[in-house]
């Protein structure tokens, strides 16, 4: 039985990885033949001024490297999920246990993944056609709208009104406030998506995060969630295979919005529903996303209140680059921190 449960997690992960590897050459050919990258180099800061330090470090890479790399991730996951479901219908005796699309566990995170992928895809399309992408406030509204719906679903359909914490006997009761809390978590995690700024950085970061939630769901016997999380990690590893320096393409908005929305849903599914602590350990497992958001907030505080920048450049990974760290050193050290944080967070979730 234990062997079967392990296969239910590792086969979707392996299948998503293989699908990602197979479809990448076709996607790469399309992206490069149609020049699916920003037509003009350079980036502006949140206040509208030129991001001088960022442009010094990365301007030459802004043009010539396609966006839309997230298609590899969510595309391989959706194809793997559909393929296993099809095989389960055709050969129920052999594949029923491997199909992980289920109403009670994975419909919601898969829907969040798909909606985020679609909105992000439109933003990337605007970027490559010179329309400057969807405005940030519109993207935030889109994320908030999806999050409000998901939060309501947890409250009204799944009767989730509490959040559990390690070392506490009783969970924290939120009631209807679970909806705005879910929305704030989703927006915060989405803001961490700007970690997609150095070749290989986002892929390795998200892979360790989803692997941790695959482990949490597995030990809580939420096998479909574990399989989905593992499949996302598999898709991310396929993406990472082609995203190590020099990156063949960027994860971009269609990847980061899909992943961050799906991650938020999975974190809540592995909380009180699974008799675990999926939400409270999210800041630990996703410490690199937290550091990314906090560094941006710190930089804004410095500019608005202190009248000076606190970091050379935000987010934090670019600050290390500005200090002289080679990009590959930043990436690999982030990977190490991400794996250690994932292990610690997964352990605390299961205490």
Residue from 251, 144, 140 nearest 200 by CA: 251
User: The pTM is what?
Assistant: 0.95
Which residues, including other chains, have CB under 8 Å from residue 163's CB and lie 6 or more apart? 171, 172, 174, 178, 181, 271, 272, 279, 280
Residue with tokens 């086969």: 11
Residue with tokens 């289920």: 102
Q: List the pLDDT tens digit at each of the 351 positions of the chain.
A: 567 889 999 999 999 999 999 999 999 999 999 999 988 766 665 555 556 666 666 656 667 889 999 999 999 999 999 999 999 999 999 899 999 999 999 999 999 999 999 999 999 999 998 877 899 999 999 999 999 999 999 999 999 999 999 988 889 999 999 999 999 999 999 999 999 889 999 999 999 999 999 999 999 999 999 999 999 999 999 999 999 888 999 999 999 999 999 999 999 999 999 999 999 999 999 999 999 999 999 999 998 989 899 999 989 999 999 999 999 999 999 999 999 999 999 999 988
Residue from 107, 136, 97 nearest 257 by CA: 136
Containing structural domain, residue 95: 2-349
Q: What is the number of domains present in the chain?
A: 1
In residues, how long is the chain?
Answer: 351
Instruction: Name the phi and psi angles at 92, rounded to 5.
Output: -60, -35
By CB atoms closer than 10 A (0-12, 13-18, 19+), residue 45 is: middle
């Amino acid at each position: 039985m234990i062997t079967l449960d392990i296969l239910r997690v590792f086969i979707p992960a392996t299948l998503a990885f293989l699908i990602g590897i197979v479809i990448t050459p076709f996607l790469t050919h399309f992206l490069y033949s149609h020049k699916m990258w920003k037509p003009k180099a350079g980036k502006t800061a949140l206040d509208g001024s030129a991001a001088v330090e960022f442009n010094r470090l990365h301007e030459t890479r802004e043009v010539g490297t396609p966006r839309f790399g997230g298609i590899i991730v969510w595309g391989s996951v959706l194809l793997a999920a559909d393929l296993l479901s099809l095989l389960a219908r055709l050969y129920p005796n052999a594949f029923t246990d491997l199909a992980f699309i289920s109403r009670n566990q994975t419909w919601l995170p898969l829907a969040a993944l798909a909606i985020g992928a679609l909105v992000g895809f439109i933003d990337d399309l605007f970027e490559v056609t010179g329309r400057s992408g969807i405005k940030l406030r519109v993207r935030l509204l889109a994320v908030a709208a999806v999050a409000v719906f998901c939060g309501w679903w947890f409250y009204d359909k799944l009767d989730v009104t509490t959040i559990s914490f390690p070392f506490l006997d009783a969970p924290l009761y939120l009631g209807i406030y679970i909806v705005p809390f879910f929305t704030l978590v989703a927006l915060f995690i989405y803001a961490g998506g700007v970690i997609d700024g150095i070749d290989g950085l986002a892929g390795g970061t998200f892979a360790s995060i989803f692997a941790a939630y695959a482990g949490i769901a597995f030990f809580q016997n939420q096998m479909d969630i574990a399989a989905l999380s593992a499949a996302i990690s598999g898709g991310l590893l396929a993406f990472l295979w082609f995203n190590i320096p020099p990156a063949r393409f960027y994860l971009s908005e269609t990847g980061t919005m899909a992943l961050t929305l799906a991650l938020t849903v999975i974190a809540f599914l592995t909380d009180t529903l699974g008799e675990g602590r999926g939400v409270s350990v999210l800041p630990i497992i996703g410490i690199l996303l937290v550091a990314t958001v906090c560094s941006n907030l710190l930089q804004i505080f410095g500019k608005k209140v202190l009248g000076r920048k606190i970091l050379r450049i935000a987010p934090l990974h670019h600050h290390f680059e500005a200090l002289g760290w080679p990009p590959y050193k930043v990436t690999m050290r982030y990977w190490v921190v991400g794996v250690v944080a994932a292990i610690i967070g997964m352990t605390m979730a299961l205490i």
